């Protein structure tokens, strides 16, 4: 099993450009999450999907949209990137009723 995979690993954008971060898991987990990590801080939840077909806002959703394409895939879209969105983005998944979240390797995004 690959676990949780994310693409791309690194991306540079100019202000105003759009892009989609991809996440996939092969553990047949129901719930998936997108977090961002800023320097010197822990992770903050952007959006989550409790199950296929549902999505909900987390702590810091502004400027982002998500799509739960199927049970395996959960994408994060930046419609108009801003320098404040420079961060490392982590995708995670969790099987219910289990509680442990498993994290992908992260995507480093730089917005100039």
Q: Judge whether 106 and 7 are in contact, CB under 8 Å.
A: no
- Cα(1)–Cα(59) distance, integer angstroms: 30
Residue keyed to tokens 């895939």: 73
Instruction: Indicate the DSSP class of residue 83.
Output: G
To other proteins, the closest distance from the beta carbon of 84 in angstroms equals 19
87 in contact with other proteins (CB under 8 A): no
99 in contact with other proteins (CB under 8 A): yes
* Residue numbers 58-77 binding other proteins by CB under 8 A: 58-59
The number of angstroms, rounded, from the C-alpha of 45 to the middle of its chain's C-alpha atoms is: 9
105 in contact with other proteins (CB under 8 A): yes
Instruction: Indicate the DSSP class of residue 72.
Output: S
Pick the binder of other proteins from 12, 28, 44, 79 (CB under 8 A).
44
Pick the binder of other proteins from 26, 56, 65, 69 (CB under 8 A).
56
- Cα(83)–Cα(98) distance, integer angstroms: 36
101 in contact with other proteins (CB under 8 A): yes
Residue 17 burial (10 A CB sphere; 0-12, 13-18, 19+): middle
89 in contact with other proteins (CB under 8 A): no
Question: Footprint of other proteins on this chain (CB under 8 A)?
Answer: 31, 33, 40-45, 48, 50, 56, 58-59, 88, 90, 94, 96, 99-103, 105-106, 108
């Amino acid at each position: 099993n690959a676990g949780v995979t994310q693409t791309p690993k690194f991306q540079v954008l100019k202000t105003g450009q759009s892009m989609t971060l991809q996440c996939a898991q092969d553990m047949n987990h129901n719930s998936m999450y997108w977090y961002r990590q800023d320097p010197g801080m822990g992770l903050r939840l952007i959006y989550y999907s409790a199950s296929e077909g549902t999505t909900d806002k987390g702590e810091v959703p502004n400027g982002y949209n998500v799509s739960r394409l199927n049970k395996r895939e959960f994408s994060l879209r930046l419609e108009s990137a801003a320098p404040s969105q420079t961060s490392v983005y982590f995708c995670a998944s969790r099987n219910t009723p289990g509680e442990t979240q498993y994290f992908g390797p992260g995507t480093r995004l730089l917005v100039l």
